[in-house]
Each structure stands twice: as C-alpha cells, then as structure tokens.
Chains A and B, each alone.
Chain A
Amino acid sequence: MFKGFADWVKSLKNEGVEHIASEERRAFLKLGLVITGVYAGGKLLSVVSRVREVYADIPEYVDKYPYKPHYSMVLRTDRCIDCQLCMEACRKTNHVPPYGWRTRILEQHLPSGEGQWTRRFMPILCNHCNEPPCVRACPTRATYKDPETGIVKVNVKKCIGCKTCMAACPYDMRYFNEEKRAIDKCDFCWESRLSKGKFPTACAKACPAGVRIFGDLADPNSRVYQLVHDPYRAIWVLRPSMGARPNVFYTIN
C-alpha cells in the first residue's frame, strides 16, 4: 500500500514554487511564525518561571569576596564522564600516595522515574570554605586559611597528628600522609603550580570535558565569576547546612 503511495508521490508533476500564490505563501509563513512564537514564548515563560527557583539556589554569601584573588572552582557536574584524568593529574602533580586522595569522583544514581535512575558523576575536592571547620578545630594552627588567597593550607611541621581536622571536615577531604607525617589535602595546586605562576590547577587542566572551571571569584571577568553570578543557572554547594560556606560550586549545563 505504502509502496503504491510512494510511487504516486513520485509520479506527481513538480509545480515549482514560482506558481504558488502570494496569499498562500503568507499564510504558510504566518503559520510558521505562530508555531515558532508559541514555542519561543513558552520557552521564555519557562525560563521566567525558573528564575525565582534558580535565584534561591545561589548561596547567600556569594558576592562577598574577602580574598584577592579569591580562588574558587565551579564544577559542571553533568559534563563529567568519570575518566579520572583529574585524579591522575592530581596524584602526579602533588605526589599523592596510593593510599590517599585529594580529589575523587563520586557516582550519583539520581532517581528519574519508577525504578529508574540517571547516572551523574560528581567530582569532589577541598571546598576551601570561607568558614573552614578544620581551621577552627586545629589546636596548633597547622592548618590555616591563607589570608591572601583564601586557600586552606597545611603547615606540615606544626601538625601534631590529632586528626581533629579530619573529624571536623564535613566533606572527607583530609587524610594523614605518612611520608609527610602530617595531614595532606588539596591546596588548589598552590605549592605545585599556582605559586610557580602556572594556571589553572592540575585537575582543571587535565579535564577533557571542561568540568572543572578554576579562577578568581572576585574578578568579574573570570569564568567562575560569570558562572556563579548567572541568575539563570542553578548553582549549589555541598552540605550547605554545615555552614562552612564552600568556595567550590556545582552546576549543570
């Protein structure tokens, strides 16, 4: 039956567009515009209606940046494919022993329907919090927030190894490094790269999917600033109820 239909269509004579009346053309274009308009309008409406919900996601401390540069990272988490090149680069660059890690990738199974889930990868690293619980807990100020960059660093020689900072960190970002005889953690590659004028962090540089955007949150021209200050974009931090005020933000494209 369909074969016959196809043959019939092929057998029709091509009338060409030059013979279509202008009224018909206009009607057709109008119809197209209406469809597009409805579609675009709906899209706009849906964006407008999302604004409020998205605005509410921006942490309340955003827009107050005490450090210059205020180092920060935005993770476009839905772009992550778990290739682990960031972990590998971090390990090599910062001499992280096999028993420890400074960054890793968690696998989320987000419920997307009855008995169904969607996989999403979530890279994690030190959040370099504005109110770091680890810094408050350390008895000897071995771990401290750098007054210039806001990076949470460790002064190895002062570490007594009480592990209070490990217990204090809501994000599981610290481990005891046997070789250093001190707590080790992500320092945004300060020692290995930033202090030597190299930019960005090893993990951000290694990521082939552009998940990790690193930069100065106090600089309006930086990518991180623009991403975090985009009111049409959902931005969140991990475990906000801890009150630690992380400088690592998450978003999806």
Chain B
Amino acid sequence: MVATQGAVKNSKIVGLFVVSLILLVIGLGAGIRSFVVGHMEAYGVTREIPWGVLISTYVFWVVTSTGLCLTSSIGHVFGYKPMEPVASRSIFLAICTILAGFFAIGMELENPWRLPIWNSLSPNLRSNIWWMGTLYGAYLFFMLIEFGLIRLHRHKQAALAGLLGVIAGVAAHSNLGAVFGLLHAHEFWYGPYMPIYFIASAMMSGAAAIIFFTWFAYRFSGREMDESTVKALQVTGKVYALLTAVVIFFTVWKIIASLAGKPHGKWETIMAFLKGPFAFNFWVFEVFLGLVLPFLVVVGVRARDINAMALVSGLALLAIFVMRYDLVIGGQIVPHYAGMHIYGLPEYYHYTPSLSEWLVVLGSLGLFGALFLWGEMAFDGHKPIH
C-alpha cells in the first residue's frame, strides 16, 4: 500500500495514518450520503446563507496551500538558500492541502460531476469562480511537476515549475478573494480588499503550516532536527512574524473602515464580530490565537525556539480555520432587505453547520493527514536534498 523505506516509519506514524484514513472514510461516507438524501436535508446551509462551513473549509485548505507554495518559494524558487531544506515538504504539503480543499468543495457542490464538463465546454470568462477553479487546476499541475523534479534532484527545472506554480497560485488565490470581493450583494466582502488580503493571509498561513508540520514530522517520528532545517524554520519564523504583522495591519484597517461612517452592511457585520454572535470567534480565535499570540511569541523568542513557535503556529492554524469560517459566514449574515422596514426580518441570518458538514470537514482533515503522513513515510521524512 505504501512505499515505506528508510527511517521514518514507526507505530505512532502508522497509527495516525490509519486514524486519518478512518476519518477520510467517515467524511467520504457522510459526503456520499449527502448526495443521496440531498444537500438540503444533510447540510445546514440555507437559501439566505448558501455558503457554509464546507466553503470556509475549502478556503482554509487552499489558503494554506497557496501560502505553503508562496512562502516556501522564497527558498526553492527565488534562491534564498537557508530556506531550501523545507522545500520538499512544503511543496508536498501544498499538494496535500489543495487536495483536501478539493475534497471539501467536491462534497459541497451539488453536481460536482458537471464541473469538468461545463467548466471547459461553457466557460464564463467574467466569472471569478471559473478562473479560480481553472487556475487552481493549473496550480496543482505545476506543483506536482515541481515536486517530482525536486525528488529527481533536477532543481533548475523544479525552480521553473515552481515559478509557474507561484504565478498560478497568486492568480488563483486572488481570484478566490475576488469570488467574495466582487459580489456587490455582500458589502462586507465587496471591494479590492479581499484579493489582496487573501494573498497576505495565505503567506501567513503557509509560514505557520511549514513551522508546525515540519516540527510535527520530526517530533512524531522521534528524529532530531538537523541544523540546516532548524535554520530554515528560524527564517520561516521571521517571515511568519512579518506576515502576522501585515495581517494585523489589514485587520485593523478592515475594522476601522467598517466602522467609520457606519457603512451599510459592513457596519452590521463588524458589530457582529466585535460584540455580536461572532465576538468569541473573533476575539479569542482570530485576534488572540491567530494574530497577537503568535506575533508576540515568535518575536519574543526571536524566532529561535522551534518548539514555542511550533506550538503557537499549530494554535494559529486552528484559529485561521475559524478566521475563514467567520469571513465566509460573517459576510452573509446581514439580511438582503435590511433597513427597509420589513416586519419580521431578523437582525442577522443564522447558520449552524450540520453533523454531515462537520463529518466532511473531518474527512478533509483525514485526507490531508493521510497524504501528509504517507509522504513522510514514502519520501523518508523529506530528507533535505543537497
């Protein structure tokens, strides 16, 4: 089943790999059942909030994937040597995360089988979601080529494939931002902010993922991290701190812009974040665990203590998952006819993910985990290639 050779294989890794596979099977089962009984029955999404936790999970995975590609490209594409030791794992993780994202959205679409047919036969070139899907397809292709070339030690060609991957990734990911940002109907999203913010927050997520999963891979297989990898993670830590600061800057201005002059739609949403139904998610997860804590800790340890950085990076990844949830759901909560004196209109639309949706989310985590751990075993812990 798995091409396992070399040192990276122990009962812990195999055990976690099996657990991941079980999660994947459960998620797949829940997803397939949802197609049979109908998404209306199985999922918590509504006419008013058509995008739920599966879309935000998709966004989470592809944000992380793009970030892994972009942040690691500093080393293997743009030639900054100290970051090269984490290249192989980062590229592989980028592939794992994008596939986990495709899994989540595949279970979310009502008719995913029509996608490959009509995406190519009847493309809408004005649609951001068309560009996003198509460019992510290209991105996955380049990442697979790049990973293959890295494994074959053909670093020059790998860098070229990597560059194409970076370009496709930036284009795809900013288009994902535009999927939200170019919808006039939801004022909280609307504007050029989203595509730009998505790239910045992707690089932040990517840095956190490199630090956490590299640490996790060594820790779990009980190996000592070699010096060049430690150095690479320390550099990644600096990049992480910088990008966290950038995203803090973005978040502060998003809040101010949504408060100043009480802009319709934006204001109602930001109030839901600051002191409404999303306040806990916002302050505890997004602000504290996602931004402030990692920034303070990474700066506090001067990006040297790998264990401390890995801990806050892991928590930050969880927080980023919540961040994506808030972004996707929060953007849809203001009623369409708000402010028109409509009787019986709620202050905010309400959405709660269903059990099936959560199981599919776990399934995507299972797919990611299984691929990641298989990669550790199959590629011998992504041994630094010199």
Contacts and interface: CB of A to CB of B under 8 A. Distances in A.
B183 A137 contact: yes
A65 interface: no
A46 to B, nearest CB: 25
A181 interface: yes
A172 B112 CA distance: 23
Interface of A: 99-100, 106-111, 117, 119, 122, 133, 136-142, 157-164, 166-172, 174-176, 178, 181-182, 238-239, 241-244
A139 B110 contact: no
A106 B341 CA distance: 10
B179 A164 contact: yes
B47 interface: yes
B261 interface: no
Interface stretch (B91-99, B123-131, B148-156): B123-131
Contacts of B341: 108-111, 117
B344 A136 contact: no
A161 B110 contact: yes
B109 A160 contact: yes
Contacts of A167: 50-51, 183, 185-186, 332
A171 B186 CA distance: 11
A14 B337 CA distance: 65
B140 to A, nearest CB: 17
B123 A133 contact: no
B347 interface: no
Interface of B: 38-40, 45, 47-48, 50-51, 109-112, 114-115, 118-119, 122-124, 126-130, 133, 179, 183-186, 264, 332, 336-337, 340-344
Contacts, number: 128
Nearest to A144: B124
Contacts of B179: 137, 164
Given A160-B112, A160-B118, A138 B127 contact: yes
B185 A161 contact: no
A78 to B, nearest CB: 14
16 contacts: A99-B40, A107-B343, A111-B341, A119-B343, A137-B128, A139-B127, A139-B133, A140-B114, A140-B115, A141-B122, A157-B114, A158-B122, A160-B115, A160-B119, A176-B40, A181-B111
A52 to B, nearest CB: 24
- Closest CB pairs A-B (n = 5): A161-B110, A140-B118, A139-B130, A170-B185, A163-B50
Contacts of B114: 140, 157-161
Contacts of B111: 159-161, 181-182
Given A108-B341, A160-B112, A141 B124 contact: yes
Nearest to B337: A106
B133 to A, nearest CB: 6
B183 A106 contact: no
Contacts of B337: 106, 172, 238
A166 B184 contact: no
Interface centre among A110, A117, A167 (most CB of B within 10 A): A167
Nearest to B120: A140
